[in-house]
């Protein structure tokens, strides 16, 4: 087997990771600072909001360590790691979901960095987790009454994962198109390979989160959490 392209890709990734790791740590600090400023001085924000944001990010990050990795080059099935942040986004809206998603995405990179070119960092660790915006949007547009969250929550979950899937799909396309994962695969089918690769871990991860949110809504736990967070 010809490993030349694969070895070159790994060399590029290793050289880039050190720089992006430093950038990502600075980005986390900057995002937390921005979130703090918004919560302290924004008209619709308060200190409790940033406390819940920090707790949600921390809980999601902790759950992301409970995982299995069915694929080799990034991507894993976790124990509903996105659920705490989806609950937060649903309660506090799309902008809050977007900001906390960015923070979480950068933390994911710090946890397990792997990139090929800078665009894959943007797609996999920044844009992919901006999908919490849609959960927040569903909370704003469709939520009308406590105890009636099931439909908007599950739709929001689907949109959040669909967005993440598309971002990872394009990132994976870059990997396959450059022959950086399996060098013997024809690059003319790079998008197909990327689709299958992302589906292996993202679909099970989505099912776990979907079921967890469904259970929380059916048991009225979601409603109680929502009322507590927004009170």
- CATH (domain of 216): 1.10.1760.20
Whether the CB-CB separation of 53 and 35 falls below 8 Å is answered with yes
Q: What is the pLDDT of residue 9?
A: 47
Whether the CB-CB separation of 169 and 192 falls below 8 Å is answered with no
Task: Give me 202's structure tokens.
Answer: 């993202």
Residue 42: CB atoms within 10 A of its CB come to 12
pTM of the model: 0.82
| CA gyration radius, the chain | 18
From the list 36, 3, 158, 31, the residue with the least C-alpha distance to 86 is: 158
Residue ranges with strand state E in the chain = 67-68, 77-78
Structural domain that includes position 138: 4-230
Residue 15 in this model has a pLDDT that exceeds 60: no
Task: Give me 85's structure tokens.
Answer: 């942040």
- Distances from the Cα of 132 to the Cα of 47, 68, 95, angstroms: 21, 23, 9
Residues above pLDDT 70, as percent of the chain: 71
Least confident of 67-81, 189-203, 209-223: 67-81
Angle at 68 between CA 65 and CA 70, to 5 degrees: 140
Q: What is the pLDDT of residue 31?
A: 62
Residues above pLDDT 90, as percent of the chain: 38
Mean pLDDT of 188-210: 90
Q: What is the pLDDT of residue 112?
A: 73
Task: Give me 23's structure tokens.
Answer: 């950038």
- Distances from the Cα of 66 to the Cα of 27, 54, 60, 63, 201, angstroms: 25, 19, 10, 5, 14
Task: Give me 214's structure tokens.
Answer: 């469904």
Least confident of 66-75, 164-173, 180-189, 213-222: 180-189
pLDDT band at 206 (very low <50, low <70, confident <90, very high): very high
Q: What is the pLDDT of residue 5?
A: 46
Q: How many domains does the chain have?
A: 1
91-123 pLDDT, tens digit per residue, is: 999 988 998 998 898 888 877 766 667 788 888
CA distance 194 to 79: 23
Sign of the CA dihedral 146, 150, 151, 156? Answer: positive
Bigger pLDDT: 38 vs 4? 38
pLDDT band at 226 (very low <50, low <70, confident <90, very high): confident
Task: Give me 148's structure tokens.
Answer: 């009636």
What values do phi and psi take at 77, rounded to 5?
-100, 120
50-66 pLDDT, tens digit per residue, is: 889 889 999 999 999 99
pLDDT band at 2 (very low <50, low <70, confident <90, very high): very low
Angle at 190 between CA 206 and CA 201, to 5 degrees: 20
Residue 165 in this model has a pLDDT that exceeds 60: yes
DSSP 78: E
């Amino acid at each position: 087997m010809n490993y030349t392209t694969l070895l070159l890709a790994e060399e590029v990734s290793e050289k880039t990771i050190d720089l992006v790791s430093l950038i990502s740590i600075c980005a986390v600090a900057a995002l937390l600072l921005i979130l703090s400023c918004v919560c302290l001085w924004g008209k619709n924000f308060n200190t409790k909001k940033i406390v819940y944001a920090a707790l949600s990010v921390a809980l999601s990050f902790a759950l992301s360590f409970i995982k299995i990795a069915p694929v080799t080059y990034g991507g894993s099935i976790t124990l509903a790691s996105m659920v705490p942040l989806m609950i937060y986004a649903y309660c506090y809206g799309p902008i809050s979901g977007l900001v906390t998603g960015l923070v979480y995405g950068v933390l994911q990179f710090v946890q397990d960095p792997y990139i090929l070119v800078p665009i894959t960092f943007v797609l996999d660790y920044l844009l992919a987790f901006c999908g919490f915006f849609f959960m927040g949007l569903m909370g704003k547009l469709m939520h009308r009454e406590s105890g009636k969250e099931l439909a908007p929550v599950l739709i929001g979950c689907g949109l959040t994962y669909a967005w993440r899937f598309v971002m990872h799909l394009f990132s994976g396309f870059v990997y396959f198109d450059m022959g950086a994962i399996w060098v013997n695969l024809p690059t003319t089918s790079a998008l197909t390979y990327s689709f299958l690769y992302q589906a292996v871990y993202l679909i099970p991860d989505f099912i776990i989160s979907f079921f967890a949110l469904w259970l929380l809504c059916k048991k009225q736990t979601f409603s109680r959490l929502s009322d507590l967070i927004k009170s």
